[in-house]
Each structure stands twice: as structure tokens, then as C-alpha cells.
Amino acid sequence: MLLVENEVSCCDDVFQQSGDDSFFNNTSDLLTFSQLSKTQKQLKQIYFTNKFDTSLFQKIKKSFPFIFKITYPAEFFNDVFSKKYYSIVCLEKNSKELVGFSHIKINKISKSAEIITLGVLREYQGQKFGTLILKKVNEELLMNGINEVSLYVQSTNTIAINMYIKNEFIKEKEICNYYNLTDATKEVAHEENKAILMKKMLWDREKLNESLTKIKQSQKIKLIGQLT
């Protein structure tokens, strides 16, 4: 079982989105995890960034068929690379290996956001990295005045649905034929083509004040750690 041991600032990478840098905080997080193996205690460190070069972009793109059943069009990847979506990338600290990622569509006028993708590479699945990425997405949206976040998920993807429910997302409605998966029997395709729209409000006043206080305290601790 993975446990967060501590959280300190990571000085070698910062959140910096080309196009509109003001949305993200200029911070990056280094998280340390301990995992007990049969032979020894292993430490895993990850950090988040929204900077990616061509090489990292290609790794993200190549991982899609192994994570998602849905085929994404070339236009989607062009939009990702051109920074039409806000991207959060999770990497291992030492190896710089890709752990997972999320792409988010922001509407600043309505103060809403849609999580377009949230994926974790297979070798890192089942270790709570999806939850950590989701929490990072929520934190960035909350800190920047976004009131509501939504997403669509396959109705058959119970693991993802349960993760979203645990993180306070609510099922809004089920949509038939949202996806176009044809490489299966009609019965299977009918179920897998269904999507569930899920939403979460981020601005509940009590929870907002509580969350902002925790985030500010965390950032203050990081700053003190850098100065000492």
C-alpha cells in the first residue's frame, strides 16, 4: 500500500504553460512514496509539471492505446501539443519516466473546466497515482477560481467511476452512443459506447476556505523548507 510520506518543493521544474502562463501556480510538487516489497523498502518520488518537449509528448501519445479503449483523432493530439488544453504530467523524479497525465479544457468565462483525459500507465496502475493526479487537477482549478469541473467516463469503467465518486464527483446522467467503439459484439459495444457525465462543484464556501487554507499552509511549509 502506498503512503504519502512528505511533500516538499521541487526546484528543477515549475508549472509554466505557454500561451497563458497565469492559470497555473508557479510551483511544482515532489511527492515521496514508500512501498514495501518482499525484500526491501523502496522509495518512489514523483512530481508534476506542465512543461513537455517533443520527446515527452510522443511518450504520452504512444501510451494512449494501452490506457484507453477510445481512439483519439489526430486533431486531439495537435491540440494537446499546441497547448489548447492545459496539461498536467506526472513523472518519476529520478528516472523522469512518465507515470500519468491529464488534459483539461478551461472555460474562464463560465469558470468551469472539463477533464478531457486522465490516464496512468499500466505499470503504475493500482497504486493511487490516478487519485493523486486528480487531486492535483482539482487543486490547480480551485486555486484559479474555477467553480465546476466535469468529465465523461465509459459506463463500463467501474474503477474510474469509483475513483471519481470517492473524490466527490456526482453522476449527472448517462448518454447512449457517446463513444463509437465498433470492434466488439453489438451487446458489448452498446454498453461500452455509453458515457456517464460526472460533475463536481469546487466552490462550496466552507470547503473552499478549508481547502485554500490547507493549500496556503502547504505552500508556506515548502517556502520555509527552501529557505532553511
What residue spans define the domains of the chain? 50-147+202-227
Helix (H) or strand (E) holding 62: helix 54-67
Which range (18-22, 29-33, 179-183) has the least confidence? 18-22
CB of 147 closer than 8 Å to CB of 201: yes
Compute the distance between CA of residue 34 and CA of residue 23 in angstroms, rounded to an integer: 32
Judge residue 98's burial from the number of C-beta atoms within 10 Å of its C-beta, 0-12 exposed, 13-18 middle, 19 or more buried.
buried
pLDDT band at 174 (very low <50, low <70, confident <90, very high): very high
pLDDT recorded at residue 93: 87
Backbone φ/ψ region at 121: left (φ over 0), alpha (ψ -120 to 50), beta:
beta
Q: What is the DSSP string of 128-172?
A: THHHHHHHHHHHHHHHTT--EEEEEEETT-HHHHHHHHHTT-EEE
* pLDDT tens sequence across 205-216: 666 677 777 777
Report, as an integer, the average pLDDT of 8-25: 35
| C-alpha neighbours within 13 Å on the C-beta side of residue 190 | 3
Compute the distance between CA of residue 103 and CA of residue 100 in angstroms, rounded to an integer: 11
Q: Are strands 29-36 and 86-92 parallel, antiparallel or unpaired?
A: unpaired
- pTM of this structure: 0.73
The residue with greater pLDDT, 227 or 165, is 165
- Superfamily of chain region 50-147+202-227: Gcn5-related N-acetyltransferase (GNAT) (3.40.630.30)
Mean predicted lDDT score pLDDT of the chain: 77
Strand partners, 130: none
Helix (H) or strand (E) holding 63: helix 54-67
The type of residue at 79 is D
